[in-house]
């Protein structure tokens, strides 16, 4: 009888663990797809923003949104509005997967460090740290894609006699040209401020979840 009860409990625990894994996978896939749709829809505006920031558009005088939009269409065609979107989309799923999986790892580490039982909520400060480190890990893993996107979207192809020329065109080509001209480490240019930004962003997100879970158990 006792062995039967133990077997039943074990089966119930396995079922619960499987349900949690399936739920997390579903949320990750849905979140990833939603992110891909949102990034694709807003990419034209992001392209214009990047050109405004870098100034690599060849427009004399004030570069208004309309002027930049017209220049992109004239020099690169409609597809120019979605330049760099491929790198953005490739980044979504790996980044989310790394954040969720490494957050669990870091939470486990901080649980052991603070001697917090598994049936208790982790302290919000430790949730913040776990989420922050997870965000930094995800950023470090996917940064070359973000770097390539910046180079693709940050420079407008000049139109020379109707012929479109562009140094950075496509994710693979951009990364290959960068490595060839500047070395592998060039793919991580600017990563320090990006990592410092990822720490509070993901940390606050996961830390806030921790606080809300304590407030509304």
pLDDT mean across residues, the chain: 83
Q: Report the pLDDT averaged over residues 48-71.
A: 84
Q: Report the pLDDT averaged over residues 175-192.
A: 93
Supply the pTM of this predicted model. 0.70
pLDDT (tens digit per residue) in 62-95: 778 888 999 899 888 999 999 989 888 888 778 8
DSSP state of 155: B
State the burial class of residue 66 (Cβ atoms within 10 Å of its Cβ: 0-12, 13-18, 19+). Answer: exposed
Rounded distance between C-alpha atoms, residue 47 and residue 81, angstroms: 6
Q: Going along the chain, which residue ranges are E strands?
A: 159-160, 163-164
For residue 16, the model assigns a pLDDT of: 62
Rounded distance between C-alpha atoms, residue 187 and residue 144, angstroms: 5
Residue found under tokens 């420079």: 155
Helix (H) or strand (E) holding 22: helix 2-54
Is residue 128 within 8 A of residue 210, CB to CB? The reply is yes
For residue 134, the model assigns a pLDDT of: 92
State the burial class of residue 147 (Cβ atoms within 10 Å of its Cβ: 0-12, 13-18, 19+). Answer: buried
For residue 162, the model assigns a pLDDT of: 47
Q: At residue 4, does pLDDT exceed 70?
A: no
For residue 169, the model assigns a pLDDT of: 76
Q: Which of 202, 47, 23 is nearest to 128 (CA)?
A: 202
State the burial class of residue 123 (Cβ atoms within 10 Å of its Cβ: 0-12, 13-18, 19+). Answer: middle
For residue 17, the model assigns a pLDDT of: 58
Give strand pairing partners of 56.
155
Rounded distance between C-alpha atoms, residue 22 and residue 211, angstroms: 24
Q: What are phi and psi of 163, to 5 degrees?
A: -95, 125
Q: What are phi and psi of 159, to 5 degrees?
A: -95, 115
Q: What are phi and psi of 56, to 5 degrees?
A: -85, 60
pLDDT (tens digit per residue) in 136-148: 999 999 999 989 9
Rounded distance between C-alpha atoms, residue 18 and residue 16, angstroms: 5
């Amino acid at each position: 009888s006792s062995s039967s009860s133990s077997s039943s409990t074990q089966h119930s625990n396995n079922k619960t663990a499987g349900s949690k894994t399936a739920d997390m996978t579903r949320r990750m896939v849905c979140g990833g797809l939603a992110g891909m749709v949102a990034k694709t829809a807003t990419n034209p505006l992001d392209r214009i923003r990047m050109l405004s920031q870098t100034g690599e558009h060849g427009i004399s005088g004030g570069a208004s949104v309309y002027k930049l939009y017209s220049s992109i269409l004239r020099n690169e065609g409609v597809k120019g509005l979605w330049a760099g979107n491929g790198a953005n989309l490739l980044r979504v799923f790996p980044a989310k997967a790394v954040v969720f999986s490494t957050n669990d790892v870091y939470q486990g580490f901080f649980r052991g460090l603070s001697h917090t039982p598994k049936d208790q909520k982790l302290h919000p400060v430790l949730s913040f740290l776990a989420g922050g480190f997870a965000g930094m890990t995800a950023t470090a893993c996917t940064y070359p894609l973000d770097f390539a996107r910046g180079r693709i979207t940050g420079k407008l192809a000049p139109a020379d006699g109707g012929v479109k020329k562009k140094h950075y065109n496509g994710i693979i080509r951009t990364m290959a040209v960068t490595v060839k001209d500047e070395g592998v480490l060039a793919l991580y240019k600017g990563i320090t401020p990006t990592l410092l930004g990822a720490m509070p962003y993901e940390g606050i997100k996961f830390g806030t979840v921790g606080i809300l879970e304590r407030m509304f158990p």
